[in-house]
Chains A and B, each alone.
Chain A
């Protein structure tokens, strides 16, 4: 078996826009995810970054099976999830678990922590016999740095960071190989954020997990990811190792995105090469022709409106980028 644990081929998710109640007529579609190819290798962390509305959360839902793709294939450990039986799909889902963004709404307030973390065993009863579940839940609590005696407490008795730990324990319950983190730290304060990031890194080392880490915070992604994919309006526009993306970005959007991140060092004020984009992200229901970024791009030419740029290696930088005019520009000046 290869070391690719998760792969998508041309994954597409369009949400239809319909008119009428009895005679429904489709007049368009929100192209949330439009032809995404990804590979996740064992033990690595793949970061997915992009602004709101770029389709990163829809992609997350597709990967864990909460949405069915409009077209395209999803392979979990070499098995194509779109043409296996229901039972096998259920088993496949065990291997890929989700940690959600908001630790306040993603935990049922009426369930005890023990019930929340133990719930995956109700859905997949063959994983662990009933008698052993309580001990396993306590073990999980300990693993994520919570007191195992707090098994009978309710979510409201925990702080935001602790709740996120509960969410992580729940995701780990079935011993998955892949954990998908959808903005796991963006709802947390900075001092707590670092605790959760350190926990995720520790767990990865101990359990050999593969992570897909979705976030809008580029600094956090740089810290945790081995490879990074940048999304814009449902498409991946640049993908490469963390160094390639941050030190040698070639797509104008990646460059603008990176240059917009404020760096916590007042000495760099005014010395940064800041690209301020004009306008907003166009609607995914009616994306621009050709390159989807061309309406905000300073490099746009006629060809950008006519031809969709493919995600391919174009120059010496050595990583794929979906821009006709891809070229390296150093926007993050590494300090020290």
Chain B
């Protein structure tokens, strides 16, 4: 293992080991489509410490997956273009690196797992081959050694009879097992940051519990930073340390997990929390958020949430959009009326 680390540190110039493993600063991404420019990400910033779990919470179309793709450098270009901002890995701006350097970061230092493991794995190769390929390409191992490491990895993610299963194809695994293979693949090169894009959305609850427990265990063992992208407020409450809530391509609230659930400071966060049915509370009225999220080609001026918001005043309908106000030393919210929303207790 120690030799692996040396290989990693050699490969990338300018790495400051004391800097944060991941910092996103004012990221802008747009999609140039026939129907106009879709502003998918409009100034997203967040930090990730080693060993920390950062949840990015939002509904479909809020830009959370695009942010992940931009970090990984797997954005489809065209139509997607990163038009501004920085993505720093230990002080190195990944957006300024040439593709050959970028490859050294991908999977090595920042790895990703996807929602749908069946379409993320190649159906015509065995999972063993796909895992071994990582070691062969990135570490220059021989076929035999790489295969042995693949078996070790499947063992690590608790796939029974790993020695035999290594020769199976993705379709021969169940959904939960496939997600385990994905996790094995992401962890193969011992990354410092793992981005998990809706890792359990396609799974049943009992399997979801298994996968989340496995992720937490592996994260603790390796002191790995985890960016968890999800829309599930339950999962977030269970595992996250800090949360960034996204709406229409912006982070509209950023806080520690307890603050957000106890006293949301943005009307959207508040609306989300009030609109979910809960297992442990019965008979409470679901107060739905009225209306629909905006089209990304046509985001309303001012605060993007204003047409759906009960607090909205004239100031909310005018540009510029509300800045991130400092609600407390450790939390921010992009609402002019955060004091009213939060209520002072």
Which residues of A are in contact with B by a Cβ distance under 8 Å? Answer: 51-52, 159, 161-162, 189-195, 197-198, 216-220, 222-224, 242-243, 246, 256-269, 274, 276-278, 280, 332-336
Contact = CB atoms under 8 A, between A and B. Distances in A.
A222 B208 CA distance: 19
A191 B206 contact: no
Given A51-B205, A218-B205, A262 B235 contact: yes
A192 B292 contact: yes
A191 B267 CA distance: 12
B275 interface: yes
A278 B289 CA distance: 38
Interface of B: 59-60, 174-177, 204-210, 212-213, 231-238, 240, 257-258, 261, 271-273, 275-282, 286-290, 292-293
Interface centre among A189, A217, A267, A332, by most B CB within 10 Å?
Answer: A189
A274 B276 contact: no
B284 to A, nearest CB: 8
Nearest to B202: A52
B231 A336 contact: no
Contact of A336 (B176, B208, B258, B281): B281
B280 A274 contact: no
Nearest to A50: B204
Contact of B292 (A159, A268, A278, A333): A159
A292 to B, nearest CB: 15
A219 B284 CA distance: 12
A219 B276 contact: yes
Contact of B208 (A159, A197, A256, A260): A260
Contact of B238 (A162, A191, A218, A269): A269
A256 B261 CA distance: 25
Contacts of A242: 282
A264 B204 contact: no
6 contacts: A194-B275, A223-B277, A258-B279, A262-B235, A265-B280, A280-B177
Contacts of B293: 189, 191
Contacts of B275: 190-191, 193-194
A191 B205 contact: no
A276 B234 contact: no
A242 to B, nearest CB: 7
Contacts of B59: 189-191
Contact of A263 (B174, B279, B286): B279
A266 B261 contact: yes
* 9 smallest beta-carbon distances between A and B, as pairs: A262-B234, A223-B277, A194-B288, A194-B275, A51-B204, A189-B59, A260-B209, A191-B289, A264-B233
A222 B279 CA distance: 7
A172 B100 CA distance: 59
A257 B205 CA distance: 7
A334 B280 CA distance: 5
Contact of B280 (A162, A243, A257, A335): A335
Nearest to A51: B204
Given A191-B289, A276-B210, A219 B278 contact: yes
Contacts of B257: 266
B279 A219 contact: yes
Given A51-B204, A189-B59, A243-B282, 10 more contacts: A162-B292, A191-B293, A193-B275, A222-B277, A261-B205, A263-B279, A264-B273, A277-B209, A280-B176, A280-B177
Contact of B237 (A216, A264, A274): A264
B283 to A, nearest CB: 8
Nearest to B292: A159
